[in-house]
Amino acid sequence: MKDPLIHDLYIGFIRIHILYHASRDRVYGLALMTELARHGYQVGPGTLYPMLHALEEKGLLESEKKVVNGKRRRYYRITAYGAKALETARAHTAELISEINEE
Amino acid sequence: MKDPLIHDLYIGFIRIHILYHASRDRVYGLALMTELARHGYQVGPGTLYPMLHALEEKGLLESEKKVVNGKRRRYYRITAYGAKALETARAHTAELISEINEE
DNA sequence: TTTATAATATCGTTTAGCGATATTGGAAGG
DNA sequence: CCTTCCAATATCGCTAAACGATATTATAAA
């Protein structure tokens, strides 16, 4: 994360990003890392992979191994429960932005 | 938090809420707890107070003790640095919502 | 001077974050 | 083949955060 002092504001954002991407298409760790970096969230493998494991453990994502271009990947997709969580997150995020934008 | 399974999506939201409220007016712990609960974020004192201490420690908030109605309170206000962090958070939140709302 | 109460603080355990390092499995070249 | 290389994932070990439970504080009222 660029500014370490405000890092812990955004950990949840990262999870929501992941859920969102996994809801649109299957995703895998390394590609997520670069995608998240594009959005300014620089998470390392020591953060991302355990996070993916936990999201799967909790039933928000599910995964399967695939071999692509001779490289093995673990693809994640969102589950029904994960989609519900994403919907809820959308609502919370909308509520947050509308509140903090009030004058 | 109502749904424990998705709890860790929202810890950052809570901090942003706190920063926002502290930017509008001085705030104190117990009132924040009930205000956050109004938004569906049920944080206990064992979470909130250490969080406030950390936010102050990191320079996002500053505090002073006051006696009000014969009760001692620690009022928090946002600092300049905290306001900057809040602005950044606003931008990140807006970016997040606009991304996850894409079809 | 006790009692009650709002408010804050802290303790102890569980869980998460994360840099660093290790591991995996297939491809390509000799 | 078998070694080397590399994308990709996994894990280790430590530090820090989350949080329920409990303790502490200061004042007003009784």
For A60-86, write each residue's pLDDT tens digit. Answer: 999 999 988 888 899 999 999 999 999
Q: Is the CB of B1 under 7 A from strand D?
A: yes
Does residue B5 carry a pLDDT above 90? no
Closest CA to B24 of A96, A93, A101: A101
State how far the Cα of A31 lies from the Cα of A35, in Å rounded to an integer: 6
Residues 68-97/A with CB within 7 Å of nucleic chain D are: 68-69, 71-75
pLDDT for the residue numbered A3: 55
Q: Which residue has the higher pLDDT, A56 or B2?
A: A56
* Chain B contact set for A22 (CB, 8 A): none
Least Cα separation, residue B67 to chain A (angstroms): 29
Nearest to A96 among B11, B13, B101 (CB): B13
Question: Closest CA to D13 C1' — which residue?
Answer: A46
CB half-sphere exposure, A14, CA atoms < 13 A: 27
B4-100 — its CATH code? 1.10.10.10
Q: Where are the domains of chain A?
A: 4-100
**Between the CA of residue A78 and those of A75, A97, B23, B50, what are the distances in Å?**
10, 25, 37, 34
